[in-house]
Structure 1
Amino acid sequence: MIISALAFTLLNVFVKSLKDFSVYQIVFFRALGSLFFTIPFLLKNKISLLGNKRGLMIMRSVVGLISMILFFSAIKYIAMGTAVSLRYIAPIFATVFALFILKEKIKPIQWLFFAIAFAGVLIIKGFDDSEIEIVGVLLALTSALFAGFVYIFIRKIGDADHPVVIVNYFMIISTIIGGILSIKNWITPIGLEWFILMSLGVFGYFAQLYMTKALQVGETNQVAPLKYLEVIFTIIIGLIWFKEVYTVWSIVGVLLIVTGLTLNVVTKKKA
């Protein structure tokens, strides 16, 4: 899970560094890079690329693509650590959606933890008007909202399709749509830019891979909270590399978000 957090962090950093490229072109390369791993894996293991629950996988891909576009856009407006923290609100949206759509139950104590996390969101926005653009905050929160739908579609798909098939659908659709939308403002990469753009898919793929492996071999309530190390790693690199500024209140907000979500994961998985 620590390796996964580091990979996600490097992905965030490289996206932030590609300030001259449109979000759509970044999405295109992010998805294209991952296809070099997913398609060979499926072909080697003789797994159907089309899968079974195709409609649900297409819907999962569309909401995932929207979430990714919004998150990459948010990084261009606000500090990376703040954007990552706000994106992690997604499990709360997913839990609420599951309550109404999948009829899953929520423990009363979980509402308290959700309140703690949302208090962090309000603090970040409420006290940092001079430091954080409202547009960036809204983009990150909306990204989390759509990511919440991703959880629901994956739950609906269940074990009917191989996880790599689901990811492959996401990457193919993201490559096609990202490529089409980037045509108008396409910038041909030069030198090191090619490496950075293609590495997005590599970091994204291995971040997902090691997160999945961690959840397979370890107790979820012990391993899952470690994914929030991405917030810490991203803040540290943001401070050093991009000279990002975090006020005391923004740090308090981030800590509340991470605390609320960690307590929720630990409590939920103890059942």
Structure 2
Amino acid sequence: MVASALSFSLMGVCVKQLGGRIPAAEVVFARAIVSVALSWWLLHRAGIPAWGNRRWLLIWRGAIGTAALLCVYAALAALPLAAATVLQYLYPPFTALLAWLLLGEPIGKRVLAAMALGWLGVLLVAQPAGLLQGGATLALVPVLIAVAGALFTALAYVSVRSLGTSEHPLVIVFYFPLVALPLSLPLVALNPVLPTPAELLWLVGVGIFTQLGQVYLTRSLTALPAARATAISYVQVLFAGGWGWLLFGESIDSWTIAGAGLVLAATLVSLSHSQRQKPS
């Protein structure tokens, strides 16, 4: 899960380098093209049948994952980055709750503590004025879209956890972009933008790092209970903050450092718990 978080943070670097000129749906479409090609090559190389066993659930995972992406990008466009980040990171508790309700997976006290530490850390890192202070009011519809994105993300992760009992991880990864392609194409057709050569390279980077992130994510969710795996994913905030400082000159204040410490503590708690569970 740590490798997945690192890969997704590098994907975020590529998206940031695009500068917002390419519409969100086109970014989703481009990353899907790259991921489909890479997934098909990996499946063919390994001699694994691509179409899986529980095809309707695989399609559902792809559709709900695409909906999550579109909601996240829409929220990022309409909300301050800090507020959108905090709301998106509601997905670990949502995932834990849904895994308990739908899969019967218990939620341990240490995992709950890790989630609380992680979300508080994200809150301190992001410092969203609209959530922490009364002076700035966030528009309701974008907030609801952001929360919906977190919920769809949780549903997608629980689907991956369920599919792990019958499907190879590469098959699960393959279906996500396979479904995203036809779902995002109509949105691309509404507002097509021709990327420059530099933007095309960054779009390829988005696809490559997405592929890596999805492979590691799927392997993590098939090996660990959903609540524990998503609690570890808070470490992505640390990676994103580090890239922002190193590559984009973004400032780091005392609140950011305190929040990063809480996120790191949450990750270590989750990792230590998963290590103790391995023998069983």
> Normalising by the residue count of structure 2, what TM-score does the alignment of the two structures yield?
0.76
The CA distance in 1 between the partners of 2:234 and 2:69, in whole Å, is 18
After superposition, what is the alpha-carbon deviation per residue over 1:241-262, rounded to whole angstroms, capped at 9, x for unaligned? 4454666556645654554455
Q: Structure 1 residue aligned with 2:131, among 126, 133, 136?
A: 126
Choose 232-241 or 34-43, whichever is displaced more. 232-241
Please tell me the residue identity of whatever aligns with 2:27: I
Structure 1 residue aligned with 2:21: 20
What residue number does 1:220 align with?
none
Identify the residue that residue 64 of structure 2 maps to in structure 1. Answer: 63
Higher deviation after alignment, 6-15 or 140-149? 140-149
Matches within 5 A, 1:220-231: 228-231=234-237
Contact 1:56 1:156 in 2 (8 A): no
Q: In structure 1, what is the Cα distance between the partners aligned to 2:103 and 2:166?
A: 17
Matches within 5 A, 1:21-40: 21-40=22-41
Cα distance in 2, alignment partners of residues 207 and 264 from structure 1: 19
1:82-138 deviations in whole A, cap 9, x for unaligned?
756654542321111122112222224443443444445666453367799667766
Look up the match of 2:154.
Answer: 148
Distance in 2 between the 1:213 and 1:53 partners?
Answer: 18
Contact 2:58 2:172 in 1 (8 A): yes
C-alpha separation between the residues in 2 aligned to 1:20 and 1:98? 37
State how many pairs are aligned: 267
C-alpha spacing 1:187/1:165, structure 2 compared with 1 (3 Å): same
Aligned to 2:226: none
Report the Cα distance in structure 2 between the residues aligned to 1:2 and 1:103, rounded to whole angstroms. Answer: 25
CA distance, structure 2, for counterparts of residue 178 and residue 159 of structure 1: 29
Where in structure 2 are the equivalents of 1:235-246 lying within 5 Å?
A: 235-244=241-250
Aligned equivalent of 1:159 = 165
| Distance in 2 (alpha carbons) for counterparts of 1:173 and 1:241 | 33
Where does the alignment leave 5 or more consecutive residues of structure 2 unmatched?
A: 224-228
Does the C-alpha gap of structure 1 residues 84 and 270 become closer, same or farther in structure 2, counting only changes over 3 Å? Answer: farther
- Cα distance in 1, alignment partners of residues 174 and 56 from structure 2: 14
Separation in 2 of the partners of 1:241 and 1:130?
31
Deviations 1:152-199 (A, max 9, x none): 212222331111111111111112211221111110112211111122
Which residues in structure 2 correspond to 1:57-96 (within 5 Å)?
57-76=58-77, 77-79=79-81, 87-96=88-97
Amino acid paired to 1:172 = L
> For 2:190, what is the secondary structure of its paired residue?
coil
Q: How does 1:182-261 map to 2 (within 5 A)?
A: 182-209=188-215, 228-244=234-250, 248-249=254-255, 252-253=258-259, 255-257=261-263, 259-260=265-266
Asked if structure 1 preserves the Cα contact closer than 8 Å seen for 2:92 and 2:154, the reply is yes
Give the AA of the match of 2:168. H
Counterpart contact for 2:118–2:231, Cα < 8 Å: no
Q: CA, structure 1 residues 183+95, in 2 after alignment: closer, same or farther (shift >3 Å)?
A: same
Structure 1 residue runs without a partner (length 5+): 218-222
Distance (Å, rounded) in 2 between the aligned partners of 1:137 and 1:130: 17
Over the aligned positions, Cα root-mean-square deviation in angstroms equals 3.8
AA in 1 matched with 2:11 = L
Q: Deviations over 1:44-80 (max 9, x none)?
A: 333222211011111111111112222334444444x
Q: Is the 8 A contact 2:66 2:180 kept in 1?
A: yes
TM-score by length of 1: 0.78
Q: Distance in 2 between matches of 1:174 and 1:126?
A: 32
Name the CA shift for 1:199/1:269 in 2 (closer, same or farther; >3 Å). same
Looking at structure 2, the residues matched to 129 and 224 of structure 1 have their Cα atoms a distance apart, in angstroms, of: 31
